[in-house]
Structure 1
Amino acid sequence: MGIRFDAVTVAYDGNVVLDALDLTVAPGEVMALLGPSGSGKTTALRAVAGFVRPASGRVFLGDRDVTDLPPHRRGIGMVVQSYALFPHLRVEDNVAFGLKARKVPKAEIRTRVAEALEMTGMAAYARRHPRELSGGQQQRVAIARALAIRPDVLLLDEPLSALDAQLRSGMLAELARLHRELPEVSILYVTHDQVEALTLADRIAVMDKARLQACGTPRELYRAPADAFTASFVGNANLLPVTVGSAGVSFADAEIAVDTAGAVPGARATLCVRPHLVGIGAGPNRLTGTVAEVQWRGATHRLYVDVAGHRVMADVRELREPPAHGDPVTVHFAPEDAVLLTAGVGGHG
């Protein structure tokens, strides 16, 4: 069962927090809503869950208009950042809660609770209380509870943000596995973490200032972003203010070869180049600057190079003798590795 937002607007006291959202999540698809705090992503999820009422527009689950239905009649599973487990109930009773509320027969409840706990790797903890579990285990229980009702739609609201980095990585793998085992379930995943979105999502909807900015596959948004905001929020990006010429662009007194198809000569634009595609030394599209900072990141060094007052990031394989702060350095990138952005013009210096 898919999800469809039809011009959904949500406002509080006249303040629009979600502005005319049109978005469709296909049956069985994982759609990530990615954006900064206040972008409208959680409001969109809550509109699907039934916790907020749109000021205008409609919400559909499949062909069913659920805009006016209360949450308990939508048949949705939901997992939130704080887990929301009942501390006085054992794990198995937490997982059974939604089934009991739906008056599922006791024998079936036992079967479905066991299935959900097995699926999330928590079968051995059925008799424990939440206080006896780690954060990652509590999150697994919350997911098991959502899955026990066998929802067609699963809503995940920043489900990993309370976990440390190692647990988050493990839970990402678990969520990916669950999706493979439940390919018919549509998932709407709210996050501000681009790694989570790139790892899990079939498509990413980028939100900012209550509006949908872009939507596409992770590869599309990463390799060919439509605007500067999307480029900077889906992966790291060098965003250089340039002027379009007849056969390329100019930046900091340098002529740069890049595809300018569709751009107007003389217009201002933004050139997007991912840091891992920037090399040092001789090569095409050379820019000369001064090393402002060097960060060792294990397998790579990240260089921050000051080029005419703009910081250019270069992620290069670990160097035996990396340049030092203040050293002159030349960076370069291939013409095919740069994307010219004419929408959302703006550079990051």
Structure 2
Amino acid sequence: MNSGIRFDSVTVAYDGNVVLDALDLTVEPGEVMALLGPSGSGKTTALRAVAGFVRPVSGRVFLGGRDVTDLPPYRRGVGMVVQQYALFPHMRVEENVAFGLKAQKVAKGEIRGRVAQALDMTGMAAYARRHPRELSGGQQQRVAIARALAIRPGVLLLDEPLSALDARLRSGMLAELARLHRELPDVSILYVTHDQVEALTLADRIAVMDSARLRAYGTPRELYRSPSDEFTASFVGNANLLPVTVGEEGVFFGGRRIKVSGQAPGAADTLCVRPHLVGLGDGPNQLEGRVSEVQWRGATHRLYVDVDGHRVMADVRELKDPPSHGDAVTLHFAPDDAVLLAAGGSHD
């Protein structure tokens, strides 16, 4: 079992256009690593380089310490699940799950047991004789996962596996994937997504990709609480990014002095504070402004407040009498809840 993944300065290009630029990244054995980023960021290309579907122009790919850069996909021993399930419509569920085992020339007597085990693990044992057209989208995706697990891979590659599902099914499948991770502690999982919730929910670590390059990586908590730059702050959760000036006398936003715990990472020109950490009413680091929009979100109200021409978001607990458009309000946030980001990013 080839558990663990290492990208050693992997670069992929098509017709001279670099789509993955010198990626250095390690996924430890048993770890779930989410590749998070917008379309065109290079995350799916990285996954396909592991699977063997694209060939790096430079750099090497290692699985379980073994250089697999020159190996064809079928010799890498990885399981892969894609967005559109890719089930064979003419085959029953059990035949779909057995497909990879037959390709590996596993003994017939062993195939039956491994198919049953994979279907049981994904909760699909009762559907073994059905065709894909007789299943819901969520059930089809479970079959695709069972097929990937049946070959007992050391590495499982998941490429936007939940994006075709509706919100309710997606939530249920997230729970199922988390359960599978607990039951398969030795399998390394590389999970490609553009969905922040999926990455924060499942991943042990997140690698943030943008414009073919790795921008940041760390645990979900690290990236959420202490992002390294504006892109990471805005892509890993919602963020207020406010332009500030930092000098010997302190941190200033729009002429107001802002108290921030800790020190700036060198030169800083942006203050980051998460919307749920912004309160309504008097408190430390007060900001006065006017409401431009109010959104009711069930348990909370999202307030958009114009403060000196800058939009500040505040997620406050559901209000019986929320402010209206144009109302003057006061916001506040604690010094411990603000992070200074290094200079060099752009402001909205």
Query: What range describes the TM-score normalised by the shorter chain of this pair?
Result: over 0.9
Q: 1:291 to 1:347 in 2, by over 3 A?
A: same
Tell me the alpha carbon deviations over residues 136-166 of structure 1, each in whole angstroms, 9 at most, x when there is no partner.
0000000000000000000000000000000
Q: What aligned pairs does 1:301-320 form with structure 2 within 5 A after superposition?
A: 301-320=301-320
Which residue in 2 is equivalent to 1:152?
A: 154
Per the alignment, residue 224 of structure 1 pairs with 226
Partner residue, 1:118: 120
Aligned 1:46-61 pairs, distance under 5 A: 46-61=48-63
Give the 3-state SS of the residue equivalent to 2:336 in structure 1: helix
Letter in 2 for 1:66: V
Aligned partner of residue 127 in structure 1, secondary structure: coil
Q: Distance in 1 between matches of 2:147 and 2:330?
A: 55
Please state how far the C-alpha of 1:268 moved relative to its aligned partner. Answer: 5.3
Q: Deviations over 1:211-239 (max 9, x none)?
A: 00000000000000000000000000000
Which consecutive residues of structure 1, in runs of 5 or more, have no partner in the other structure?
none
Structure 2 Cα separation of the partners of residues 184 and 260 of structure 1: 38
Query: What is the aligned partner in structure 2 of residue 277 from structure 1?
Result: 277
Bigger mean CA offset, 182-191 vs 247-256: 247-256
CA contact (8 A) 2:268 2:343 kept: no
Aligned residue for 1:213?
215
Query: CA separation in 1, counterparts of 2:309 and 2:22?
Result: 39
Q: After TM superposition, list the pairs within 5 Å mapping 1:163-242 onto structure 2.
A: 163-242=165-244
Q: Once the 2 structures are TM-superposed, how far is the Cα of residue 63 of structure 1 from its aligned partner?
A: 1.3
Runs of 4+ in structure 1 deviating by more than 6 angstroms, as ranges, are none
Give 3-state SS (helix, strand or coil) of 1:136's partner.
helix
TM-score under structure 2 normalisation? 0.98
CA 1:260 to 1:111, structure 2 compared with 1: closer, same or farther past 3 Å?
closer
CA distance in 2, matches of 1:37, 1:319: 37
Contact 2:268 2:341 in 1 (8 A): no
SS of the aligned residue for 2:24 comes to strand
**Which residue number corresponds to residue 16 of structure 2?**
14
Measure, in 1, the Cα distance between the counterparts of 2:188 and 2:265: 38
The percentage of counterpart residues that share the same residue type is: 83
Residue 252 of structure 1 and its aligned partner are, at CA, apart by 1.4
2-structure distance, mates of 1:344, 1:36: 20
**Map of 1:93 onto structure 2:** 95
AA in 2 matched with 1:248 = G
The structural deviation recorded for 1:346 is: 2.7
Distance 1:307 1:63 in 2: 53
Q: Indicate conservation of the 8 Å contact 2:10/2:24, yes or no.
A: yes
**Contact kept in structure 2, 1:32 and 1:191, CA below 8 Å:** yes
- Equivalent residue in structure 1 for 2:47, among 45, 48, 60: 45
Amino acid at match of 2:318: E
Check whether the contact 1:241–1:268 (CA below 8 A) recurs between aligned residues: no
TM-score for the superposition, normalised by structure 1? 0.98
Unaligned runs of 5+ in 2: none
- CA displacement at 1:260 relative to structure 2: 5.9
What is the match of residue 296 of structure 2?
Answer: 296
Task: Give the C-alpha shift of residue 254 in structure 1.
Answer: 1.2
Instruction: State how far apart, in whole Å, the 1-side matches of 2:265 and 2:5 are.
Output: 36
Give yes or no for contact 1:259–1:340 (8 Å, CA) kept in 2.
no
Q: Give the structure 1 partner of residue 26 of structure 2.
A: 24
What amino acid is aligned across from residue 16 of structure 2 in structure 1? G
How far apart are residue 246 of structure 1 and its match? 2.1
Residues 222 and 231 in structure 1, CA contact (< 8 A), matched pair in contact too: yes
Say how many residue pairs are matched. 346
Q: Which amino acid letter does the alignment assign opposite residue 276 of structure 2? A: H
Q: Give deviations 1:19-58, integer Å, cap 9, x for gaps.
A: 0000000000000000000000000000000000000000
1:193-213 Cα shifts (integer Å, max 9, x gaps): 000000000000000000000
Q: Distance in 2 between matches of 1:311 and 1:253?
A: 16
Paired AA for residue 189 in structure 1: Y
Q: Measure how far apart 1:263 and its partner are.
A: 5.4
Q: Does 1:128 align with 2:127?
A: no
Shift of 1:262: 4.5
Return the offset for 1:2: 0.6
Q: 1:205 aligns to what SS in structure 2?
A: strand
Counterpart of 1:24 in 2: which secondary structure?
Answer: strand
The question of whether the paired residues in 2 share the 8 Å contact of 1:119 and 1:144 is answered with yes
SS of the equivalent of 1:169 reads: helix
Q: Give the structure 1 partner of residue 163 of structure 2.
A: 161
How far did residue 344 of structure 1 move? Answer: 4.2
SS in 1 for 2:70: coil
Question: Is the Cα contact below 8 Å between 1:9 and 1:57 reproduced in 2?
Answer: yes
SS in 2 for 1:240: strand
More displaced stretch, 6-15 vs 335-344: 335-344
Task: Tell me, yes or no, if the aligned pair for 2:250 and 2:258 is still in contact at 8 Å.
Answer: yes
RMSD: 1.0
